[in-house]
Amino acid sequence: MTHPDATVLGIETSCDETAASVVVRRGDGTGEILSNIVFSQLDLHAAYGGVVPEIAARSHVSVLDSLVEKALADADKTLDDMDAIAATSGPGLIGGLMVGLMTAKALSMVSGKPLHAVNHLEGHALTARLTDNLVFPYLLLLVSGGHTQIVLVKGVDDYERWGTTIDDALGEAFDKTAKLLGLPYPGGPAVEKAAATGDEKRFRLPVPLKGTPEPDFSFSGLKTAVRQTAEPQAPLSDQTVSDICASFQRAVCLSLADRLDIAFSRFAARFPDIADRALVIAGGVAANKALRGTLAEGADQHGFRLVAPPMELCTDNAAMIAWAAAERMAAGIGGDPLDTAPRSRWPLDSRSETVMGSGKRGAKV
């Protein structure tokens, strides 16, 4: 079934990147990114070892208008050429969400174009359809600073969350491990760099929730184990830091592999007739080469192919927000009212309950 072409302006301000993009979805379901502008606030937050919500929101205010102008100019389009205006409406930091959504509302009112208030997680979930023309259903592993989830993507606005973290997200665990070891922010790249010269078997760290029947995640206990490992080694030599990072990274890889084994088997049992099975990875942690290698190996063993969109589309960006809105339009889902409120919490699967609990240390490896 074909649909009219849709050109959408997207805005993303859910955390510490300010972004604007113009994307077109063609009637045959293929898409093209006409512009994709991202302003990183990394330097603003580095001194604090993490994102400061008020600083993030003020930065969004100061640069968003100019980014929207540049996104339109780079796409050689005007506001009148848009078929819709889309903005991240949640989940995320409420101050940043307010900036992006209010800007989108103003542009919608001025242009008369419909507003689409997009779930940030749906943007991640649908990106592979833009980059790889992927068909439903498929598995999504979302690993970022705020989320660690395994999701069955059945269709637009149709998701089942199979697993989630019961405490820290994986990106947060990387950041906290880096801070504990005296490494710079952001922690993910710093830990990966240190791990490259480390002995991953020097320290036996736990694999949280290993062997449990549901594919949930826990990283709080692993983070505690890193602290308990590091303290007796103080003062830490560079080699010890590298060895701890390598051991931490190995435990994370083993945890992801164990959790995904359950998801792979569940998918195969539920969809036995699907030959082209895919695992999509998204989120900033997806940049880690060791994790990608682990995921690729596990996917191959279970007859899945690993689909990893370009890194600039795995981290926070506005192209995925514009694309998600265009996909919703093609699915016949209308725009949102101008009194739509931002939501700091917004589960992708509305039927999923919030998972609460404490981290479990798991088996030593």
- 42: domain CATH number is 3.30.420.40
**Same domain for 198 and 228?**
yes
Full residue range of the structural domain in which residue 152 is found: 138-308+353-364
> Based on C-alpha coordinates, what's the Rg of the chain?
21
Residue 170 lies in a domain: yes
Please say if the pLDDT value at position 359 is more than 80: no
If residue 116 lies in a helix (H) or strand (E), which one and from where to where?
strand 115-119
**Same domain for 40 and 160?**
no
Residue 53 lies in a domain: yes
**Same domain for 288 and 318?**
no
In tens, the pLDDT along 190-233 reads: 999 999 999 999 999 999 999 999 999 999 999 999 999 999 99
Residue 80 lies in a domain: yes
365 pLDDT tier (thresholds 50, 70, 90)? low
Write down the pLDDT at residue 1: 55
**Same domain for 100 and 148?**
no
Find out whether 88 and 321 touch, Cβ atoms under 8 Å: yes
Please say if the pLDDT value at position 55 is more than 80: yes
If residue 17 lies in a helix (H) or strand (E), which one and from where to where?
strand 17-25
Q: Can you tell me the mean pLDDT for 141-170?
A: 94
Please say if the pLDDT value at position 356 is more than 70: no
Write down the pLDDT at residue 360: 42
**Same domain for 158 and 298?**
yes
Cβ neighbours of residue 237 under 8 Å, at least 6 residues apart? none
Please say if the pLDDT value at position 364 is more than 60: no
Residue 84 lies in a domain: yes
**Number of independent structural domains in the chain:** 2
122 pLDDT tier (thresholds 50, 70, 90)? very high
Residue 277 lies in a domain: yes
**Same domain for 100 and 248?**
no
**Same domain for 296 and 153?**
yes
**Same domain for 286 and 182?**
yes
Q: Which of 129, 161, 114, 164 is nearest to 144 (CA)?
A: 164
**Same domain for 58 and 154?**
no
Write down the pLDDT at residue 287: 86
353 pLDDT tier (thresholds 50, 70, 90)? low
Residue 109, Cα to own-chain centre: how many angstroms?
A: 30
**Same domain for 152 and 293?**
yes
Residue bearing tokens 């208008």: 65
Q: Tell me if residue 92 falls in helix, strand or coil.
A: coil
Find out whether 162 and 261 touch, Cβ atoms under 8 Å: no
List beta partners, residue 280: 140, 307
Residue type, 43: D
Phi, psi of 137 (to 5 degrees): -90, 165
**Same domain for 218 and 302?**
yes
How much is the pTM? 0.92
Residue 219 lies in a domain: yes
Find out whether 348 and 47 touch, Cβ atoms under 8 Å: no
72 pLDDT tier (thresholds 50, 70, 90)? very high
332 pLDDT tier (thresholds 50, 70, 90)? very high
Average pLDDT across the chain, whole number:
93
For residue 261, count CB atoms less than 10 angstroms from its CB and return exposed for 0-12, middle for 13-18, buried for 19 or more: middle
DSSP at 78: -
**Same domain for 113 and 36?**
yes
Residue 341 lies in a domain: no
- Report residue 213 as tokens: 């029947």
Q: Can you tell me the mean pLDDT for 148-165?
A: 97
Residue 117 lies in a domain: yes
Write down the pLDDT at residue 357: 43
